[in-house]
Structure 1
Amino acid sequence: MKKIFLFILIFASSIFAAGMKLSGTVMSDDTKMIASRFMGFVKKVYVDEGDYVKKGQLLYTIDSKEIDLAKSQVELAISQARLAVQMNQNMYNNVHLNYERYKRLYKKGMVAKYELENMELMEKNTKDMVEIAKKQLSQAKAKLKEVLHQYEYLKLRAPNDAVVIQKNIKEGQIAIPGMPALIITSLDNLKVLVEISESNLNNISLGKSVDVYIPSINFKTKGKIASIIPASNPMTHKFKVKIKFDKKGNKKIIPGMYSEIIIK
């Protein structure tokens, strides 16, 4: 009996010395949902699930009917504002000439003072009308610039290098503002997510070195415990642990891959 107990003790000690083996999954800490700001029909989708995309690459486009309508309305407002500026300027020019004429006549005693004052007031009012019309024209031009800028929002581009992991739109469907059309994930900031039992928490710490192995591509590297998430699963009493690791420039590593972690 003592020999059996001693054998079990030696076997357990050898396992502990070798390290604690955990199963994990490669994940990305940089996942983004791509959605449009405007509602419209999807004209063209340029990517599929699993595609690698570069920063700035065009992902999909939306039709511009709503913005086209807004653009035509603003252009009409600009035309009307320009016409108002020209009309008010012509009126001011005529009133100003008459005002200058009244000043000369007043000096000669040929018109009454109140007539000169009325003409002065008219000149001021028409000048103010010119300034108001110019301001309205300037506002309309600024609005047009804003509308033209909105055309860029109809072209959805990748914010960074990533891989498309989910596609929720097709050509001809309506893009709804705020609803994720695509989900992309970066390959630059990958980690391994594992779960560890509550009883083993004493054996780990932030920054602790671990061995990382991805069997599918026979990839081995070193990693460090980056975070210990203190939200225990009430059913299994396990905690989530994230491990950052050195990719060694390997471009085959993607989120979702099975991995093994050895914590010595």
Structure 2
Amino acid sequence: MNNLIIIVLLSLLMVSCKDSGDIDIQRPLITGVTIAEINPTEVDVYYKTSGTVMAKTISEIASRVMGTVTSIEVKEGDRVAEGELLLTIDDRDIVHKVRAAEQGYKELSKALEAAKQNKHLLNLTYERYKSLYDEKALSEQEMDEIETKKKVADIEFERAQSALERGKATFREVQINLDFTRIKSPISGIVTEKNIEIGNTAVPGIPLLKVEDNSSFRLEVMVDEQLLEKLQVGMPANVYINALNRNVTGQISEIVPVIDPVTRTFLIKIDLNNEELLRTGLYAKALISYGKREAILVPEDAIVEKGQLDGVYTVDDEGIVNYRLIRAGTSFSGGVEVLSGLKEGDRIIVGGIQKVIDGGIFKNK
């Protein structure tokens, strides 16, 4: 009896399944949308890195003479022009040396003039003696004596010339040292650091002030060693300044081909296009294009978010529309890269998304 019941139920189930296969599913009709076929697109390959914005010209100013600082004309944040006085150093000792060197130079000038006159006199005397000697009016000994005096006068004149040159050099040297007591800015820019106070002793080689030219900046970043042969000076770079929430364009201006053995990276410098808000020390991210590759791109508006998932509406050969999950990647100027979920030749809806119904059928009017 039980076996009979099971056979009857199976028969009814088979009939039901056969009948249901003949049912024509009524799909919603979709019109007024735009469909595009997926084809690979050539895109730039980017390397992501980050670094610190720096002024292109930063001048650390130190004294070239030792002495006590007697005045400071600037403070941090002041704007200065090239050649503007920044600070002074006690110059009393050097002033005395300048005066002594100047007096010595004048004395040597007088000595040279005396040697010149003596040389001229002996040259005239020598010519007279030679005429007398040729006329047999002078002895050979007398001629030798005047000839010797002439040679000595020539030597004394040369010595006086050399002494004057040395005195001139000494005078110029102490004048230069005097100029070093008035420290001036080598560039136009902003004073960003002051490490000295009035009364402190300035020591040669120890930075006293720092001035940076804020008219041009660059980004210094470390790049993976694998890109050493792929990057070239002049290549463009896109830079994002976090603190300013601003994008800045730039170009690679310098590549330092020395690999850090610890990080396996090397330094590059990117000149940034003029931007008034840039400052030394700002953190920035850089995207550097170093090649091309093929990628599947879809318009950003074609991606539909459902919950936390991304997907697109695909259209098959029969016009049936289905929502397909995708994994989105990097955004490019031509759209968003699809890492998985689509392949070449697939058709997706790129316009009129609001009219799409999942499971509907597309009809081109």
TM-score under structure 2 normalisation?
Answer: 0.51
- 2:53 counterpart of 1:26: yes
- 2:95·2:178 contact (CA, 8 Å) conserved in 1? no
Quickly say closer, same or farther: Cα 1:142–1:108, change in 2 above 3 A. same
2:217 equivalent to 1:190:
yes
- Larger Rg belongs to: 2
1:257 aligns with 2:282: yes
CA deviation digits over 1:108-155, x for unaligned, max 9? 655422122112211221232133213322432343234324433333
Judging changes above 3 Å, is the alpha-carbon distance between structure 1 residues 91 and 181 closer, same or farther for their aligned structure 2 residues?
A: same
Gaps of 5+ in 1: 1-18
Write the distance in 2 (CA, Å) between the matches of 1:245 and 1:88: 65
**Quick check: 1:193–1:240 contact (8 Å CA) kept in 2?**
yes
Number of the residue aligned with 2:273? 246
**5 Å matches for 1:191-206?**
191-192=218-219
Q: Does 1:52 align with 2:61?
A: no
Q: CA deviation at 1:208?
A: 6.7
Deviation at 1:81, TM superposition (A): 1.7
Partners of 2:252 and 2:118 in 1: CA distance: 78
Matching of residues 126-145 of structure 1 within 5 Å: 126-145=153-172
SS across alignment from 1:183: strand
Other-structure match for 2:142: 115
Match for residue 174 of structure 1? 201
Q: Which region of structure 1 is more displaced relative to structure 2, 106-115 or 72-81?
A: 106-115
- Secondary structure at the counterpart of residue 149 of structure 2: helix
Q: Which moved more, 1:166-175 or 1:254-263?
A: 254-263
Distance across 2 between alignment mates of 1:222 and 1:76: 61
CA contact (8 A) 2:70 2:199 kept: yes
Q: Which residue of 1 aligns with 2:323?
A: none
Structure (1/2) with the larger helix percentage: 1
**SS in structure 1 at match of 2:101:** helix
Q: Distance in 1 between matches of 2:190 and 2:127?
A: 74
Aligned pairs for 1:140-159 within 5 A? 140-159=167-186
Aligned to 2:64: 37
Q: Distance in 2 between matches of 1:240 and 1:110?
A: 88
Partner of 1:30, secondary structure, is strand
What is the CA-CA distance between 1:35 and the residue it aligns to?
A: 0.8
User: In 2, Cα distance between the equivalents of 1:21 and 1:95?
Assistant: 85
Taking a change above 3 Å as real, the CA distance of residues 162 and 118 of structure 1, as seen in their structure-2 partners, is: same
The answer to which structure has the higher strand fraction is 2
Does the CA contact (< 8 Å) of 1:232 and 1:239 recur in 2? no
1:212 aligned counterpart, secondary structure: strand
> Would the aligned equivalents of 1:29 and 1:189 in 2 still touch at CA under 8 Å?
yes
**CA 1:111 to 1:56, structure 2 compared with 1: closer, same or farther past 3 Å?**
closer
Gaps (5+ residues) in structure 2? 1-45, 289-329, 331-365
Distance 1:25 1:79 in 2: 57
Aligned residue in 2 for 1:69: 96
| CA distance 1:112–1:184, change in 2 (3 Å) | same
Secondary structure (helix, strand or coil) at the match of 1:50 reads: coil
Amino acid at match of 1:74: A
